[in-house]
Structure 1
Amino acid sequence: MLQIIELTNDNVIASKAYGKLRKEDIEKIHPLIHAILDKGMKVRWYFEMDNFTGWDLPGLWEDLKMDTAHAKDYEKIAMVGDKKLQEWITQFMKPFTNAEIKYFYIEQKEDAKSWIESQ
């Protein structure tokens, strides 16, 4: 499941992932990305993981398509979560974007929010 949470910047998408992400979860992000791009801005994504276990197959495919289509549209991605996923998720995302990707432990989520909103 993917829940959209709120941060204050106009070009930040903030989300919290629980369990497995499905295609429908990834499709929630498309209009948010396009709203930011329509303003002429690059996307910054705060991605918090809480008991996140990955994607089902259609969800993974949808995520790969979205990341590939928008590879140059991301500026920063803050990954927040469990140490077990740190290297895997960060390494997984790098080939699909030119964005600066930084991992934060869950207890550093306020630092992650500050970083994603900072210049």
Structure 2
Amino acid sequence: MSHTIHGVSVGIERHHQQMMVVMKASGTLTHEDYQSITPMLIGALRAIVQPKVKILVDITDFEGWELRAAWDDFRLGMKMGSNIDKIAIYGHKSWQDMAAQIGAWFIKGERRAFEKYEDAIEWLAASES
């Protein structure tokens, strides 16, 4: 018997004296996943005292969304977009750059895609110029 693993884990980590929300997406996300994710993510963002939040999204095991889940993701981005300073998308997918560009439609902060985890952390931790 096989089963598919899908969902998002959400945590808070300190890197280079910066607090960051770290999310790891796995499998194909569903509407039910977003029903669980949204309260956790909002709670994690409230826990960070900085006025603007830095987020690392790990998509190394991410396969995509069901249609309704993609809409949920868009709505979540609209709700939280103004509180975000930077989002680093880490993964080895050819479409990660496109995901960063689509995020520009509803997230006011900077977005950038990375193939190396360390590069994503360094960019997030860097002070604004």
| Partner residue in 2 for 1:3 | 9
Inter-CA distance 93–52: structure 2 relative to 1 (3 Å threshold): same
Q: Could you tell me whether the CA contact under 8 Å between 1:77 and 1:101 is conserved in 2?
A: yes
The structure with more radius of gyration: 2
Separation in 1 of the partners of 2:97 and 2:11? 24
For the pair 1:88 / 2:94, whether they are aligned, the reply is no
CA-CA distance at 1:6 after TM superposition: 4.7
Equivalent of 2:82 in 65, 72, 78:
72
Equivalent of 2:117 in 88, 92, 109:
109
Q: Could you tell me whether the CA contact under 8 Å between 2:82 and 2:107 is conserved in 1?
A: yes
Identity of aligned residues (%): 24
For the pair 1:53 / 2:63, whether they are aligned, the reply is yes
Computed over aligned residues only, the root mean square deviation of the Cα atoms, in angstroms, reads: 2.0
Which residue identity lines up with residue 7 of structure 1 in the other structure? Answer: E
Separation in 2 of the partners of 1:80 and 1:2? 14
More helix by share: 1
CA-CA distance at 1:11 after TM superposition: 3.9
| Partner residue in 1 for 2:27 | 19
| Partner residue in 2 for 1:28 | 40
Which residue identity lines up with residue 9 of structure 2 in the other structure? Answer: Q
Normalised to the residue count of structure 1, the TM-score between the two structures is 0.82
Separation in 2 of the partners of 1:63 and 1:28? 14
SS of match in other structure, 1:97: coil
Q: Deviations over 1:64-119 (max 9, x none)?
A: 222112221100000001241223211221101111111101xx101111221221
CA-CA distance at 1:10 after TM superposition: 5.7
Q: Could you tell me whether the CA contact under 8 Å between 1:79 and 1:103 is conserved in 2?
A: yes
Separation in 2 of the partners of 1:5 and 1:45? 10
Q: Deviations over 1:2-49 (max 9, x none)?
A: 12345215641011111122212344211112223xx35211100011
